[in-house]
Amino acid sequence: MTITLYDCATAPSPRRTRILLAEKQIEHEVIQIDLASKEQLGDHFRAINPRCTVPALRTEEGTVLAENTAIALYLERLKAQPPLFGGDSLDEALVIEWNARVESEGLHAVADVLRNSSPRMKDRALTGPLDIEQIPELAARGRKRLLHFFQVLDDRLHDREFLAVDSFSFADITAFVVVDFARWVKMKPSPEQTDLLRWFSAVNGRPSTNA
C-alpha cells in the first residue's frame, strides 16, 4: 500500500513529517486537510484519525500513525538512509531526548501563545476533539518559556553543528520547525544568539526544509 500523508500545507506539525519524507525521499501520496474550515473535526477525517490532528500517516500496512515521533521512527526503520536518529543506540536515545525536550519547552510554548491569544482559535486552545477555552495567562506564560527555550538552544549549539548528535537528526527538524513557527507569534532569537542563528540558517538551507 502506498504511504499516505494527511497534511495541511500551512501548519507546522505536519511540516515535520514533510521534511522527514523529503530527507528520506520516500514516495507517498498527500491529502490536504483544511484546518481553516475545521475539516479535521468532520466525520470523514475523524474516522481516519479520531484525535483530529495532522499529520497523520497511513503506513504501508494500512495503520494510521498520528504522532510525529512514531512516524519518524517508522520511516527510519523503513528506509535507513539518511539516518535521522544518529549512528547507534545512545545516539537514538539522545535524538528522542532532544526531540521531546523541544516539543515540551518549545513547541508547546509557541502553541500556547498562539492558541490562547488568537481570536481565530477561540475554544481551540488545544488540538483534538474537545473544545478547550482560551486562558490568556497561558499566552503570557508561553512567551516567558519561549524566551528561555531560545537560550537553551543557543547554549546547546555553542560548540555543536547539530542539536542532538553529530549529524542532522529528527531533533533538528523539530527545533527548526518550532523556531520558524515562533514567527507566527512575533518571536524570534535575538541577534546575540549567534549559535542558534548560525544553526537555523544552515538548516534553512537544506532542500528538505522547504518541502
Neighbour-count burial of 148, counting CB atoms closer than 10 A to its CB (0-12 exposed, 13-18 middle, 19+ buried): exposed
User: Smallest gap, in angstroms, from Cβ of residue 129 to a second copy?
Assistant: 8
Q: According to CB under 8 A, which one of 4, 22, 41, 69 is a site residue for a second copy?
A: 69
Segments in 11-169 forming alpha helices (H): 12-24, 43-48, 68-78, 89-102, 108-115, 136-156
Query: Which residue number, 148 or 198, has a Cβ lying nearer to a second copy?
Result: 148
Query: Which residue number, 20 or 209, has a Cβ lying nearer to a second copy?
Result: 20
Q: According to CB under 8 A, which one of 67, 117, 167, 206 is a site residue for a second copy?
A: 67
Q: Which of residues 141-160 bind a second copy (CB under 8 A)?
A: 141, 144-145, 148
Q: Each residue of 37-60: b (16+ CB within 10 Å) or e?
A: eeebeeeebeebbeebbbbbbbbe
Q: Which of residues 157-196 bind a second copy (CB under 8 A)?
A: none
Asked if 84 is part of the footprint of a second copy (rule: CB under 8 A), the reply reads no
All cell numbers assigned to 183: 514567527
All cell numbers assigned to 33: 486537510
CB 156 within 8 A of CB 149: no
Which residue bears the cell 501520496?
Answer: 29
Asked if 133 is part of the footprint of a second copy (rule: CB under 8 A), the reply reads yes
User: Smallest gap, in angstroms, from Cβ of residue 134 to a second copy?
Assistant: 10
Cα dihedral 16, 182, 200, 82, rounded to 10, equals -10
Single out the segment in contact with a second copy by CB under 8 A; choices: 11-19, 56-64, 175-183, 187-195. Answer: 56-64
Q: Which of residues 89-118 bind a second copy (CB under 8 A)?
A: 89-90, 92-94, 96-97, 100-101, 105
CB 29 within 8 A of CB 4: yes
Q: What residues line the site for a second copy (CB under 8 A)? A: 51, 59, 61, 63, 65-67, 69-71, 73-74, 77-78, 89-90, 92-94, 96-97, 100-101, 105, 126, 128, 130, 132-133, 135, 137-138, 141, 144-145, 148
